[in-house]
Amino acid sequence: MAYDTIKYMRDKLVEKLIKGEEKRQAEGLELIPSENYVSEDVLKANGSVFTNKYSEGYPGRRYYGGQDFTDAIERLAIERVCKLFNCKFANVQPHSGAPANLAVYAALLEPGDTVLGMDLSHGGHLTHGHPMTLPAKIYKFVAYKMKNTETGEIDYEEMRRVAIANKPKIIIAGFSAYSRQLDYKKFVEIAHEVGAITMADMAHIAGLIAAGALRNPFDDGFDIITSTTHKTLRGPRGGIILTRENEEIAKKIDKSIFPGIQGGPHMHTIAAKAVAFGEAMTPKFKKYAKQILRNAKAMEKVFHKNNIRMIGGGTDNHLILADVFGSLGVTGKEAQTVLDEVGITLNMNSIAGDIRKPLDPSGIRFGTPAITTRGFKEKECAYVAELMVRVLKNKDNKKIKESVHKEIKKLAKKFPIPKKFV
């Protein structure tokens, strides 16, 4: 087994559960686009003695003593992430992506101010305006959508009309389940026209941007990038907020994180972030990111061949959103369950215009970051896609499911989770 993080624990129940999860990850294939594996070095940093240390404040401006090493590790993380994304300022303290987004809102908006983001049903994230979230209770959110769900094209003219009519203070480019590329220049043009700040929520594709496999929004004039540090960036569970060059915005964001919405930062996680940023700066990571895209295209071809509708018509990034109910008569929940049975993990997902409920939607969402980390290339990814289709078309056939499960175990054994990436 690649991961062998637990040698001995006094709490045998917790040890058993951790070992069970290690076995599940080792013997199955992870296709959830927001999940990945981390290196042994990231795991070690995340489980280090930095977890014992409180460090409220920022390097050189802490409210506790004993900060020599915490200051050094946070400065290192900031330095590395600024180099990765070509920006002047970074806050590496957010505990995850949602708090990072909330911190930007709190830093730059007053209650009742307007934000323009991608509609959740068209691929946006909960924090971009879903009425059940805290931001939506404080601020006003308006949405843009795809012009054509078969191509994934965003309706930029309608976005402009909505922006002119509502005068948003922030315009968000970003998504959770969108498979095409965004035209960042058009976002910036619209923002300049209405006097808005541009924010790119790059949680899903940050690693692809860092590696140069996808375009950096900062290169087109975006003001802010928020992101998680896991997913394609292949680091620990956490968040970051990057500011291209505006020091005033960066200072407001720092105050918004601490003391605004967080107390002491998780220094063990910041240490792990520093490790992951260092790994992402290597030529090997650049090759990895490009392979993610090639692998997604290989899976796209198989779904095209089997006439399974994909929202957006395919993919330009790491993920695919497939309408399995409309194409195969299999609900998203059924697909998630039956694929889990054969060792393939993905998630059910609503699609644009979905006639089904969120807990049993029409679609599934899957991607290639984790299996690419294991060393899968186009051939293996196409084969996995073929196995997925076989199961979905024969979801009640026990023999076929058993046969596929054996194939998945063989693949997992052939491509073990690596311990090191550089």
Q: Within this chain, do residues 225 and 254 fall inside the same structural domain, yes or no?
A: yes
Mean pLDDT, the chain, whole residue set: 96
Which residue numbers are catalytic?
Answer: 54, 56, 201, 228, 231, 237
pLDDT for the residue 422: 84
Contacts (Cβ under 8 Å, ≥6 apart) of 60: 71
What sign does the CA torsion over 110, 111, 114, 120 have?
Answer: positive
Least confident segment among 2-16, 67-81, 197-211, 358-372: 2-16
Q: Is 156 found in the same domain as 76?
A: yes
Would you say the pTM of this structure is higher than 0.75? yes
- For 343-360, write each residue's pLDDT tens digit: 999 999 999 999 999 999
Residue 3 has pLDDT above 70, yes or no: no
Whether the ω angle into residue 416 lies within 30 degrees of 0, i.e. cis, is no
Q: What are phi and psi of 396, to 5 degrees?
A: -105, 5
Q: Quick check: is 422 in a domain?
A: no
Alpha carbon distance 40, 2 (integer Å): 9
Give the end of a domain, one of 230, 254, 280.
280
Per-residue pLDDT, 150: 96
Report if residue 229 sits inside a domain.
Answer: yes
Q: Are residues 263 and 148 both part of a single domain?
A: yes
Q: Is residue 19 part of a domain?
A: no
Same-domain status, 267 and 302: no
CATH of the domain at 306: 3.90.1150.10
Residues in a beta bridge with 321: 365
Q: Is residue 22 part of a domain?
A: no
User: Does residue 366 lie within any of the structural domains?
Assistant: yes
* Alpha helices in 306-368, H assignment, sequence order: 324-328, 332-341
Number of independent structural domains in the chain: 2
Q: How far apart are CA 190 and CA 185, in angstroms?
A: 9
The whole-angstrom separation of Cα 413 and Cα 347 is 23
If asked whether residues 117 and 51 sit together in one domain, one would say yes
The predicted-structure confidence for 375-409, as pLDDT tens digits, reads as follows: 999 999 999 999 999 999 999 999 999 999 999 99
Residue found by looking up tokens 């951790």 in the block: 18
Chain segment 132-181, per-residue pLDDT in tens: 999 999 999 999 999 999 999 999 999 999 999 999 999 999 999 999 99
What are the residues whose beta carbons fall under 8 Å from the beta carbon of 325, sequence distance 6 or more? 331, 332, 356, 361, 362, 363
Banded pLDDT at 7 (limits 50, 70, 90): confident
In the chain, % of residues over pLDDT 70: 99
Closest to 92 (Cα-Cα) out of 237, 231, 258, 270? 270
The two tokens of residue 361 are 């939607």
In-domain check, residue 118: yes
CATH of the domain at 264: 3.40.640.10
Residues comprising the chain, all counted:
422
Q: Is residue 89 part of a domain?
A: yes
Is 354 in the same domain as 273?
Answer: no
- CA neighbor of 170 nearest in space, from 224, 232, 100, 245: 224
CA distance 92 to 76: 10
Same domain, 197 and 302: no
Q: Quick one: 132 exposed, middle or buried, by C-beta within 10 A (0-12, 13-18, 19+)?
A: exposed
3-class SS of residue 168: coil
Claim to verify: residue 81 and residue 170 sit in the same structural domain: yes
Do residues 186 and 223 both lie within one domain?
yes
User: Is 398 part of a structural domain of the chain?
Assistant: yes
- 114 and 93 inside one domain: yes
Neighbours of 25 (CB within 10 A): 19
Q: Range of 91's domain?
A: 44-280
Residues 245 and 384 in one domain: no
Where among 227, 250, 280 does a domain terminate?
280
Instruction: Let me know whether 199 and 343 are in one domain.
Output: no
Distance CA 369, CA 196 (A): 33
User: Which helix (H) or strand (E) element contains residue 370?
Assistant: helix 369-373
* Domain stop point among 254, 280, 306: 280
Residue in the block written with tokens 């008569």? 329
- How much is the pLDDT for 299? 98
DSSP labels, 233-264? G---S-EEEEESS-HHHHHHHHHIIIIII-SS
Q: Which amino acid would we find at residue 321?
A: L
Q: What is the pLDDT of residue 1?
A: 39
Contacting residues for 419 by C-beta, under 8 A, at least 6 apart: 2, 3, 39, 40
